[in-house]
Amino acid sequence: MSDIGQPTQLLCLSCGNLLSPDEVTDTCPSCGSNIDVDELLRLYDYAARVYYYGHQYRLVYEEQEHSEQRTRHCLQFAGEAFAWTMLAVLSGVVGNAAYDLVKVIVTKIRKAVADGKVNDRDYSALLSLSEDELNDLFCSAKSFTNDMDGLTKEVRLAIIEEIAVDAMTHQPQLMAQMTQFMKGKKLGEKNKKKFIELLRATVAQQQKHIHPKKGSLNDRWNRIEPR
């Protein structure tokens, strides 16, 4: 997969401002709220993966369903501004933020991006995001965080395959077995079963690893002024 990596900015989960990491010690310079940077980076990683697998791949594989051709895609991650946007969306999907509040945060993120706060790449697709596209982000987040509910079997399997392949690149032992498997060397029924179990465990472990603690996206954005 394209590497998600570390973001260049941090999002305050109280006031929704994007902050430069050197401005942040343990409090937000804009609103004074505490920021647990380690936790924030874990949430960022989670949101980035939900965006990458649950939205980017969902769109290409759903599109592909209407065509005759079946190809595997290898997508570049769309960038941190989309991950922060997805984190805002997740605060209303996994967390308890109201839709209107999420929209306020998304608008703030887009404004910060328009002002050049995040400039690691071109974000015109985010700046021109329509209401329908924002709703589609909600659909992706809801589906991905709910065992890919609502997706066709083909799309779901294609996404699982992407996650598995990416997980394998971090597991040399599994990678070696997979390579042997691909080369057509017979694994034997017993080894094949073992291999599939290993693969399943790897995917489950990876998903568990990135999933945030229960409630960690609840009661966010408490420094947003009443509208």
Contacting positions for Zn ion (CB under 5 A)? 12, 14-15, 28, 30-31, 33
Nearer to Zn ion, 91 or 143 (CB): 91
User: Closer to Zn ion at the Cβ: 33 or 145?
Assistant: 33
Identify which of residues 15 and 83 has a Cβ nearer to Zn ion in the complex.
15
For residue 133, the one-letter residue type is E
* 34 or 205: CB nearest Zn ion: 34
Nearest distance in Å: CB 211, Zn ion: 25
Specify the residue, 44 or 53, whose C-beta has the smaller distance to Zn ion.
Answer: 44
Radius of gyration of the chain (CA): 19
Question: Could you tell me how far CA 97 lies from the centroid of its own chain?
Answer: 18
Q: How far is the CB of 31 from Zn ion (least distance, A)?
A: 3
- Kindly report the number of other CB atoms within 10 A of residue 217's CB atom: 22
What minimum distance in Å lies between the beta carbon of 193 and Zn ion?
51
> Is the sign of the CA dihedral 104, 107, 113, 116 positive or negative?
negative
Q: Do residues 197 and 177 make contact, with C-beta atoms less than 8 angstroms apart?
A: no
- Identify the bridge partners of residue 27 per DSSP, sorted by sequence position: 34
CB of 156 to Zn ion, least distance (A): 37
Shortest spacing between CB 38 and Zn ion, in angstroms = 17
Instruction: Give 221's contacts (C-beta < 8 A, 6+ positions apart).
Output: 13, 14, 15, 16, 91, 97, 101, 104, 105
Measured from the CB atom, the residue of 28 and 126 that comes closer to Zn ion is 28
Q: How far is the CB of 13 from Zn ion (least distance, A)?
A: 8
Residue 10 to residue 80: CA distance in whole angstroms: 10
Q: Where are the alpha helices (DSSP H) in the chain?
A: 37-49, 58-64, 80-93, 99-114, 124-127, 131-144, 153-168, 172-182, 188-210
